[in-house]
Structure 1
Amino acid sequence: MVGNEETRLIVVRGNSASGKSSVAAGLRETFGRNLAIVGQDNLRRIVLRERDRPGAANIGLIDLTARYALDNGFHVVVEGILYADRYGTMLQDLVRAHRGVSRCYYLHVPYTQTLLRHATKPDAEYLKHVTDDHLRDWYREKDLLPDSLETVIDAASTLNDTVQQILRESGLDGMHPIDR
């Protein structure tokens, strides 16, 4: 078992440019301290500098990091593309092991809108290296976890509406941050 009855685990998944990182940042900005963001891109690309492959080391590192934060009383947001066939078992095990409230969300953005959102990213260097062809290769239509584990949030939901929905459904909207 991991965490306690008061900790919250939130998983935010979706394709590239679906708004996952923005939602995680919005949750932290709105909630405050004591909310850990476990970002797939950070652990996989920055910490490990690893390609996204089945059985890769980042899968265990994401799990370990989330569990550590939960066991130390932090609420946790795990965010990333987190393909169901590669990360699904780890995510399901994490949700099952968590003692507190767990909520999983899939941000569904159609491919054409993914391209438009991607083009608005402020990092020019990233835009040079990540092309429309990359996005097409990475895109998976509704790559949902089994057993209806996730709530699907579609592209019509604004960032604020999505953040407020997650805060409400997870119960974080009724909790106070701990100033660590």
Structure 2
Amino acid sequence: MELTGTPSTRLVVIRGNSGAGKSSTALAVRYRLGRTCALVQQDVMRRVVLRERDVPGGANVGLISTVARYALDHGYHVIVEGIMSAERYGEMLRCLAEDHRGRTWFYYLDVSFDESLRRHATRPQAAEFGADDMRGWYRPGDLLGVAGEHLIPQESALPDTCARILAEAFGMRSTD
């Protein structure tokens, strides 16, 4: 692929199991950044745009990369979020980071299966799928193995997780 973004664009990848808090975190960080930030959500690309199941070699993998690159090339900071298993999405995410001219951060929300289930029960889509589905998707410690990949423990509350990402990736303090 070709280089993407500018030295001033930031790419943040937020991964973790279902119910870990990825979407909530990404939405809260994007809210703080405003119109300077594009949000690329795996579930939106896969389920809404393509109506695709998460399968090896799925079209959504390339679509996520394409949308992220497009936004970076147009000067947006980009947050990519989703379960995005290392096995299926790792190569694309590593290439995206390698091609990005700016700085890139990877965050993995490390949440136990029991905590994922507890959190899932509070979500609007709780009735769409249950514990058996989630058990089949759950991959403990599914790290990409990239340098500087940050683990965020389940004890980190949403405001603390957002403050950490905003500080590390965007140099923003909670008072900014």
Query: Which of the five TM-score ranges fits, normalised by the shorter chain?
Result: over 0.9
Specify the alignment match of 2:17 in structure 1.
Answer: 15
Of residues 1, 4, 7, the one that matches 1:5 is: 7
Distance 2:37 2:25 in 1: 13
> Sequence identity, in percent?
50
| 1:31 positional shift | 1.7
Distance 1:42 1:172 in 2: 28
Specify the alignment match of 2:67 in structure 1.
Answer: 65
Q: What does the per-residue CA deviation read over 1:157-176, in whole Å, with 9 as the maximum and x for residues that have no partner?
A: 111111111111112528xx
Matches within 5 A, 1:67-146: 67-121=69-123, 123=124, 126-146=125-145
Query: Is the contact made by 1:31 and 1:172 (CA closer than 8 Å) also made in structure 2?
Result: no
Specify the alignment match of 1:35 in structure 2.
Answer: 37
Alignment of 1:46 onto 2:48? yes
Distance 2:20 2:113 in 1: 10
Specify the alignment match of 1:177 in structure 2.
Answer: none
Where does the alignment leave 5 or more consecutive residues of structure 1 unmatched?
175-180
| 1:13 positional shift | 0.1
Instruction: State the aligned residue count.
Output: 171
Query: What is the RMSD of the two structures over their aligned residues, measured on CA atoms?
Result: 1.1
Specify the alignment match of 2:163 in structure 1.
Answer: 164
Specify the alignment match of 1:178 in structure 2.
Answer: none
SS at match of 1:104: strand
Query: Is the contact made by 2:94 and 2:146 (CA closer than 8 Å) also made in structure 1?
Result: no
Distance 1:49 1:40 in 2: 12
* Structure 2 letter corresponding to 1:137: G
SS at match of 1:129: coil
| TM-score calculated relative to the size of structure 2 | 0.94
| 1:150 positional shift | 1.5
* Structure 1 letter corresponding to 2:170: G
Distance 1:49 1:117 in 2: 25
Query: Is the contact made by 1:8 and 1:172 (CA closer than 8 Å) also made in structure 2?
Result: no
Where does the alignment leave 5 or more consecutive residues of structure 2 unmatched?
none
- Change in Cα spacing, 1:143 to 1:47, as seen in structure 2 (3 Å) is same
